[in-house]
Amino acid sequence: MLGVDLIIPDVSYLVERSDRVRGILITHGHEDHIGALPHILPQLNVPVFAPKLAHGLIAVKLHENRATRGISAQPIEPGVDYQLVIHTGDFKIDHTPVDGHTIDLNTLAHYGNEGVLLLCSDSTYAEIPGYTASEQILGGALDRAIGDAPGRVMVATFASLISRVQQVIDAAASHNRKVAIVGRSMADNVSMAAEMGYLDLPPDTLVSLNEIRGYSPERTVLITTGSQGEPTSALVRIANKDHRDVSVMEGDTVVISATPIPGNELLVSRTIDNLLRQGARVLYDRIALVHVHGHASQEELKMMLSLTRPRYFVPVHGEYRHLMAHAKLAWDMGLAESGIFVLEDGDVLELSEDGGRVVESVSAGPIFIDGPVTRDVRSEVLRERKALARDGVVVLVVSVDGQTGQPASPTKVLASGFMDDSETDDLFPRLSVLIDDLVKDRQEFAEEPERVKNLVREAAGRFLQTEARRRPTIVTVLLES
Amino acid sequence: MLGVDLIIPDVSYLVERSDRVRGILITHGHEDHIGALPHILPQLNVPVFAPKLAHGLIAVKLHENRATRGISAQPIEPGVDYQLVIHTGDFKIDHTPVDGHTIDLNTLAHYGNEGVLLLCSDSTYAEIPGYTASEQILGGALDRAIGDAPGRVMVATFASLISRVQQVIDAAASHNRKVAIVGRSMADNVSMAAEMGYLDLPPDTLVSLNEIRGYSPERTVLITTGSQGEPTSALVRIANKDHRDVSVMEGDTVVISATPIPGNELLVSRTIDNLLRQGARVLYDRIALVHVHGHASQEELKMMLSLTRPRYFVPVHGEYRHLMAHAKLAWDMGLAESGIFVLEDGDVLELSEDGGRVVESVSAGPIFIDGPVTRDVRSEVLRERKALARDGVVVLVVSVDGQTGQPASPTKVLASGFMDDSETDDLFPRLSVLIDDLVKDRQEFAEEPERVKNLVREAAGRFLQTEARRRPTIVTVLLES
């Protein structure tokens, strides 16, 4: 929106104190956790610590970006000691995860016994009662969906959700189907994960997009990006009949293995509709089991609080209402209100023997990536674009004789995004006459051109507001001849 | 978005054939069913038939609008015969509705026995298994929410959802609280509904916003608009500390008695967050029973199909995927595929003894209400605003000597929404020189000014794309002196 490509946090506070920043800790490699790194690391050159798979996903991302080629993260090995508070990252308590590595509850309990100063815990699903389902349930569901499909299957998911890709490949292999990857970010991540041993590829299952054309549809599965309806993603281009290599065929089944992130609902909905219009069968979260959430629900959040027994608690990750819901859970479990801190971005929390308090609030974003430059919320340029989007622009070119201060030629009026030409045929000549009359009556042009310019802008604004009920941006050019 | 106030259907096909249009049938008075009437009726002056309460809501709406003051709808009385196909409108099968008027299943069954040509049925919840809950459940929940609240309660809902207003008033009265209405559309509808006898007001319960200040907070309830996070609504202004009469107080409970309509999720979420930040307790659909849906789920849809036994079936109301899901339900129940029609807006369905078929597709919208005028999807103005929103505008004023074709003064470059002044300090003078050099080399100005103008625009576009990686709208003014 408004030409903005990405929104990242403002790290200027950290950059100014970079000698005291010990590192950036990445809990896992999903896009909302690593996406800002290519923009932050060139300013804040500190160590990045990440688990091994996240390390691989970060490496792919940094390599894609010219500014960060050569910069690298440091993989964290399990069992190595770092002295930090407990931060859950995104978590759920899954006793049967895809990769078999279950959550280490015992170590959490051990820390709880030793005494935890601060717990920062995932709040995204703090509104949801009960437990989040295991990834295992989904494996069976995907297997059935692919097994039952009469023709080709396309599965869309997040490019960084390697465990889901594994599940799709397993299901494809079990039904003797070949798999090809569509979408560059997905292909890059899959090769990285395979190389690092995080993807277990059954022999001869993964083939190129070109090779898979040689197989009949019911022997094939495509894995694509676009599960959030991202406008330039593979699935959306397929849905819009705009993809170079893939188009919907009679008998296709499309599985959207994700839930819309808040704000993406309409994009996802439009993508589903366009796939249906082309005759595909579409399985999505409202009508089929095609995704389970990656965040802990209330009972798991309570379990985490209960195991770690923190002295202080900061709910993190989620909208303000999620943080409040998580704080309420902690309070209901008996944590003292004075130990629970619902923070806004930039709040500085100071913990001491006597207690904790928010001591200041520093600037922490958002920062808008606007093509090659960055902007913050005070940006005049973004405000101008907002105004242009609403009412367009009207350009007035006023020529004045430098000697007499009188109009040298009639004022020219041009516009973009304002109204149709047919609607301004009558309006603009009248505006031109109005401005010429205004300039004629003013004698101060030679001394105060800025003043005349402002008078012209104001008069034009009033005229267009009265006559056309709009408030376009008005660009005034005064030319002296 | 893009200055558009409302989106309505294109009725030009009907306007051209208005002598054959027997009327507009309004099933009920919710905004998405009556909101376009003030814009359509001035063009398409045909009878409007509506049930009595909808008739009242339409009257309020038409009266608000200058163009339709004086135009009126005709109330439909139950039991009067009209010869039409069956159209459900928005429906659910609620055996215990707020007003006590249950759905007349027996009449539907009677028509089913006589033979129904066509059923058009609500598809909004065709993805949802089971039955939709009764409004009665909600009455109890609202009663408890209001009874348990330690201070003032604000309930936000749709201005046209009169039965919900009744439930809130009943709950307030049962806890001996006074009620005031905030928001003009809500206030207008409440007085209309009370006058027509559709709201049963316990004596001395409803007071003015001014009077209610005289009561202590725990004796009061406010009913407001803004349940969809609409930017200019009462609740959003209260959440933004921007309402003239009402601000959040310590101890307030806000009940958002609605579910976000797809597309409004972020607006609603932001409103909840802002209310929480001000210290209000907020009850909303994710964490409390504060709303039940007004649309039939799958079992009710099947019941409707089963009772009416239509020869032809057209799923209506919903996104394309809802229509497809509803069509699949009908097909699963044994309706012949040749009798089920999933239509797009504008499709013309012709039914005859031999069968039905889509014979043509006419223009049916959307039409954008852009201040005082209307535009359609081909509108150049909206396309221009989209471009302006993304990259802003750069204005070039080129002065050329009419005799020699040479630049008379350096090209002026101005911009809005393009880049910050500091970012163009170096860029624009270089662009100016580039354009002057270009004009200097061209001799054809006198004969072909349009050609020079195009050359200037193209050169500037290439320059800005290369140097600033942006593609602003370029407005070129050629002045001959």
* Distance of alpha carbon A198 from alpha carbon B476, whole angstroms: 56
Assess B477–A contact: CB distance below 8 Å, yes or no. yes
| Tens of pLDDT, residues B318-356 | 999 999 999 999 999 999 999 999 999 999 999 988 899
| Tens of pLDDT, residues A354-405 | 899 999 999 998 999 998 889 998 899 999 999 999 999 999 999 888 778 7
- Could you tell me what percent of chain A has a pLDDT over 70? 99
Alpha helices in A234-392 (DSSP H): 234-239, 265-277, 298-308, 320-332, 380-391
B71 vs chain A: nearest CA distance in angstroms?
Answer: 25
Band of pLDDT at residue B178, cut at 50, 70 and 90? very high
Q: Given an 8 Å threshold on Cβ–Cβ distance, is B477 in contact with A414? A: yes
* Distance of alpha carbon B379 from alpha carbon B190, whole angstroms: 39
Backbone angles phi, psi at A8, to 5 degrees: -125, 165
Q: Given an 8 Å threshold on Cβ–Cβ distance, is B479 in contact with A409? A: yes
Indicate if the pLDDT at residue B444 is higher than 70.
Answer: no
Assess B409–A contact: CB distance below 8 Å, yes or no. yes
Assess B70–A contact: CB distance below 8 Å, yes or no. no
pLDDT of residue A443: 67
Residue B389 with chain A: CB contacts under 8 Å: 1-3, 385-386, 388-389
pLDDT of residue B80: 82
Residue A409 with chain B: CB contacts under 8 Å: 479, 481
User: What letter does residue B260 receive in the DSSP assignment?
Assistant: P
Q: Report the largest interatomic distance among the alpha carbons of chain A, rounded to a whole angstrom.
A: 89
> CA nearest B467 in A: which residue?
A372
- Average pLDDT rounded to a whole number, residues A165-194: 96
What is the DSSP pairing of strand A393-400 with strand A407-416?
antiparallel
> CA nearest B298 in A: which residue?
A287
* Distance of alpha carbon B151 from alpha carbon B374, whole angstroms: 46
pLDDT of residue A432: 97
> CA nearest B423 in A: which residue?
A373
The A residues from 125 to 154 touching B (CB cutoff 8 Å) are 127-128
Q: Given an 8 Å threshold on Cβ–Cβ distance, is A390 in contact with B3? A: yes
Assess A461–B contact: CB distance below 8 Å, yes or no. no
| Tens of pLDDT, residues B286-319 | 888 888 889 999 999 999 999 999 999 999 999 9
Backbone angles phi, psi at B250, to 5 degrees: -50, 130
Indicate if the pLDDT at residue A69 is higher than 80.
Answer: no
* Inter-residue contact A467 to A427 (CB < 8 Å): yes
Alpha helices in A160-233 (DSSP H): 162-174, 184-196, 209-212
Q: Given an 8 Å threshold on Cβ–Cβ distance, is A417 in contact with B277? A: no
* CATH architecture of structural domain B136-283: 3-Layer(aba) Sandwich (3.40)
Residue B473 with chain A: CB contacts under 8 Å: 393, 416-417
| Tens of pLDDT, residues A393-416 | 999 999 888 778 788 889 999 999
* Inter-residue contact A290 to A142 (CB < 8 Å): yes
Assess B466–A contact: CB distance below 8 Å, yes or no. no
Residue A393 with chain B: CB contacts under 8 Å: 388, 393, 416, 473, 475
| Tens of pLDDT, residues B239-293 | 999 999 999 999 999 999 999 988 899 999 999 999 999 999 999 998 888 888 8
B329 vs chain A: nearest CA distance in angstroms?
Answer: 12
Residue B119: partners with Cβ closer than 8 Å, 6 or more residues away: B85, B86, B88, B304, B305, B308, B310, B312, B313, B314
Q: Given an 8 Å threshold on Cβ–Cβ distance, is A390 in contact with B385? A: yes
Q: Given an 8 Å threshold on Cβ–Cβ distance, is A388 in contact with B2? A: no
Nearest-by-Cβ selection for B475 from A127, A319, A416:
A416
Q: Given an 8 Å threshold on Cβ–Cβ distance, is A372 in contact with B468? A: yes
Backbone angles phi, psi at A340, to 5 degrees: -110, 130
> CA nearest A263 in B: which residue?
B266
Residue A238: partners with Cβ closer than 8 Å, 6 or more residues away: A154, A182, A224, A226, A246, A247, A248, A275
Domain ranges of chain B: 6-130+294-370, 136-283, 379-480
pLDDT of residue A445: 62
pLDDT of residue B371: 86
- Average pLDDT rounded to a whole number, residues A289-310: 95
Nearest-by-Cβ selection for B320 from A128, A276, A319:
A276
Assess B282–A contact: CB distance below 8 Å, yes or no. yes
Assess B441–A contact: CB distance below 8 Å, yes or no. no
Tokens 């599985």, located at residue: A255
- Average pLDDT rounded to a whole number, residues B23-32: 93
Q: Given an 8 Å threshold on Cβ–Cβ distance, is A393 in contact with B390? A: no
- Average pLDDT rounded to a whole number, residues A319-347: 97
* Inter-residue contact B33 to B58 (CB < 8 Å): no
> CA nearest B383 in A: which residue?
A417
Assess B401–A contact: CB distance below 8 Å, yes or no. no
> CA nearest B416 in A: which residue?
A384
CA A394 to chain centre: 34
* Distance of alpha carbon A468 from alpha carbon A427, whole angstroms: 8
Secondary structure (3-state) at A109: helix
Band of pLDDT at residue A481, cut at 50, 70 and 90? confident
Band of pLDDT at residue B76, cut at 50, 70 and 90? confident
* Distance of alpha carbon B414 from alpha carbon B407, whole angstroms: 18
Assess A361–B contact: CB distance below 8 Å, yes or no. no
Q: Given an 8 Å threshold on Cβ–Cβ distance, is B388 in contact with A388? A: yes
Alpha helices in B282-379 (DSSP H): 298-308, 320-332
Q: Given an 8 Å threshold on Cβ–Cβ distance, is A384 in contact with B419? A: no
Indicate if the pLDDT at residue A227 is higher than 80.
Answer: yes
Assess B372–A contact: CB distance below 8 Å, yes or no. yes
What is the DSSP pairing of strand B153-156 with strand B253-256?
parallel
| Tens of pLDDT, residues A112-150 | 999 999 999 999 999 999 999 998 899 999 999 999 999
B192 vs chain A: nearest CA distance in angstroms?
Answer: 31
- Average pLDDT rounded to a whole number, residues A6-15: 94
The A residues from 297 to 326 touching B (CB cutoff 8 Å) are 319-321, 324-325
**Host H or E run for residue A113:** helix A105-114
- Which class is B6-130+294-370 in CATH? alpha beta
Assess A23–B contact: CB distance below 8 Å, yes or no. no
Residue B481 with chain A: CB contacts under 8 Å: 399, 408-409, 481
* Distance of alpha carbon A259 from alpha carbon A269, whole angstroms: 11
pLDDT of residue B446: 62
The A residues from 245 to 264 touching B (CB cutoff 8 Å) are 262-263
Q: Given an 8 Å threshold on Cβ–Cβ distance, is B320 in contact with A263? A: no
- Which class is B379-480 in CATH? alpha beta
